[in-house]
Amino acid sequence: MIFRIVLESLARRRRRKLLSVFAVALGIAVTAAVATLALDVGDKVNRELRSFGANLSVTPAADGLPVAVGGIDFRPAGAGAFLPESTLLSLKRIFWRNNIVAFAPFLYVPATLEGQQVVVIGSWFQKALTVDKSEVFVTGLEKLHPAWKITGQWPADDDTHGALVGRRLAERLNLHPDQALTLAAAAPGNTPSSPAIAPSLLPAEFIVRGILETGGPEDGQVLAPLASVQRWAGLQDKVRRIEISALTKPEDAFAHSDVSRLTGEEFDRWYCTPYVSSIAYQIQQAIPEAQARPVYHVAETEGRIMNRVGVLMALLVVAALVAAGLAVASMMLATVLERRAEIGLFKALGATDARVAAVFLLEACTIGLLGGAAGYFFGSLLAWRLALAVFGSAVGIHWVILPVCLAVALFVTLAGSALPLGRALKVSPSLALRD
C-alpha cells in the first residue's frame, strides 16, 4: 500500500519532481567531475608542475664529508667525488620507482671557447634505459626540463659532436646552429662545481645543433652528450650530479619527522608515502655512495599549488551540494504545504507519524537515487571534456565513484527533506480536515 502511495505521489506534480531530480543531479555532477579529476588528473597536474624543474638533487656522499683542521677547509676549490653512471638504473628499482618521471646526470668540465671561460656540461638528452625485459624508460633533459626553449634541435645522445649553446653565450660569441666549436680544456678548479680533471686535454670539436634558453645559468654554458664529455675528460662512467623529477605528495608535519625516532608502524607509513623526503631516503638506500637532497623551493611551490587547487575543488563541491540541498528543501516544503489536507486525512485514518515519514522519505530517496545516477554520468562526461580540453588526454569512467555519488545524493536529499518532513509531522488532522 505504502509503495503505491509513493508511486502515485511521484506521478503527480511531475514538473516539481523533475526539478528536484535536476537540482540533485547538478550537485552530484560537480561532485562526480571533481572526484574523477582528482583520481585521474591529479598525476596529470603534478606532471604539468614538473616543468618547474627537478625536485631532487643527488650528489656524491663524499662531498658532504668535511676536511677541516682548525676551522679551515682544506678541500681544493674544484675538488669533488663522482658517482658511477651505471648506478643510475637503480633509481627505477626503488619502492616509488613509478613516481620517477625523469632524471638526468651531469658532468662538468671547465673549458675555454674563443678565449671565454665556459663550463661544458655532459648529460643525457633523450636516453632509453632498459629497466627489465618488459620496460624501457626514456629519460633525459627533454623529459626533465620540458619548459626549456630550443632554437634548432636537440642533439641525439649518439651524436658525438652535437652540442647546445646557451643563449647568452651564443649572443656574446655570435654563435648559430650548424656552426663549429673548438673547446679547449681549462685549468682544473676554475669553477666551484667542477671537480679536478686531467690537466692536459686535447681540444674538442663540437657542432652547434641548437641554442638553449632556460633563464638560468645554462644560458651561459655548453651542453653536450654525456658520453662525448666523459671521453674528452677521461672520466668514463662518471657523473658529478643527478637531477630527478618525481611525483610527490605535498609535505605535512609528519613528513618532517625524525626517521630515527619513528616506530615501526610510523616508519612504514612514512616510507610508503610519496613525500619528497621519503623518496630521497629510498634513493640513498639504492645508491649508498650518493646523498639525495630535496630541492625544497620547487617541492614547496608544487605543494602550495596542489593544496590550493584541492581547497578550491572542495569548496566548489560543498557549494554545489548545499545549493542542491536547498533546492530540494524548498520544493519539498511546497509539496508539504499543498498536501496538508492529504496528510491530515491520512492521519485521521490511523496513520502514525512513522507511516507519514515513510511516504516522504521514500519519495525523497527515489528523487535522490535518480538525481545521483544522472549526476554521476553527467559529471563523468564533464570530467572527460575538461580533461581533454585542459590536458589533451581523456579520462575514463570510474565505477567506484557511482556508489559514493548515490550515497551523497541520498544524504543531500534527506537533509533537504528534514525541515519539510518536520512540518508534515506537525500537521493536525482536525485542523487540516476543517480547512
Distance from CA of residue 357 to its chain's centroid? 47
Instruction: Return d(Cα 144, Cα 123) in angstroms, integer.
Output: 11
How much is the pLDDT for 417? 85
On average, the pLDDT of the chain sits at 81
Per-residue pLDDT, 46: 59
Pairing of strands 204-213, 162-166: parallel
Instruction: Report the percentage of the chain scoring pLDDT > 90.
Output: 32
16: nearest Cα among 334, 342, 324, 322: 334
pLDDT given for residue 189 in this prediction = 47
Give this prediction's pTM. 0.64
What percent of the chain is helix, strand and coil (3-state, nearest 5)?
55, 20, 25
Domain boundaries, the chain: 2-45+302-434, 55-294
Q: What is the pLDDT of residues 38-76, one digit of tens each?
A: 776 555 665 565 556 678 899 998 775 444 443 443 344
Task: For residues 244-251, give the mean pLDDT.
Answer: 83
Residue 7 CA to residue 80 CA, distance in Å, equals 81
Residue 386 has what pLDDT? 81
Cα dihedral sign, 74-75-76-77: negative
Dihedrals φ, ψ of 171, to 5°?
A: -70, -40
**Beta-strand relationship, 162-166 and 222-225:** antiparallel
In this predicted structure, which of 54-58, 156-160, 197-201 has the lowest mean pLDDT?
197-201
CA distance 22 to 31: 14
pLDDT of residue 169: 93
More confident residue, 426 or 81: 81
Q: CB neighbours of 315 closer than 8 A, spacing ≥ 6?
A: none
pLDDT reading at 187 higher than 90: no
C-alpha cell recorded at residue 423: 512540518
Q: Taking 80 as the threshold, does the pLDDT of residue 352 lie above it?
A: no
The pLDDT of residue 78 is above 60: no
Q: Are 91 and 103 within 8 A, CB to CB?
A: yes
Residue type, position 76, single letter = P
Contacts of 63 (CB under 8 A, 6+ apart): 80, 81, 291
pLDDT per residue over 234-245, tens digit each?
A: 889 999 999 998
Contact indicator for 46, 247 with CB cutoff of 8 Å: yes
- In terms of pLDDT, which residue wins out, 351 or 224? 224
pLDDT for 192: 42
Short-list 192, 231, 237, CA closest to 83? 237
* pLDDT at residue 229, as a whole number: 93
Are the beta carbons of 413 and 368 closer than 8 angstroms? yes
Q: What local confidence, expressed as pLDDT, does residue 124 receive?
A: 95
Q: Which residue has the higher pLDDT, 36 or 197?
A: 36
Asked whether residue 303 carries a pLDDT value surpassing 90, the answer given is no
Q: pLDDT by residue (tens digit) across 81-134?
A: 899 999 999 999 899 998 898 999 999 999 999 888 999 999 999 999 998 888
Helix (H, G, I), strand (E, B) or coil at 354: helix
Cα R_g (the chain), whole angstroms: 33
pLDDT on residue 75: 42
- Only one residue has cell 571534456, namely 385
- 310 by DSSP, 3-state: which? helix
Cα 22 from Cα 13, distance rounded (Å): 15
Residue 3 predicted with pLDDT over 90: no
Are 102 and 143 contacting, i.e. CB atoms less than 8 angstroms apart? yes
Q: Tell me which of 88-102, 282-296, 391-405 is least confident.
A: 391-405
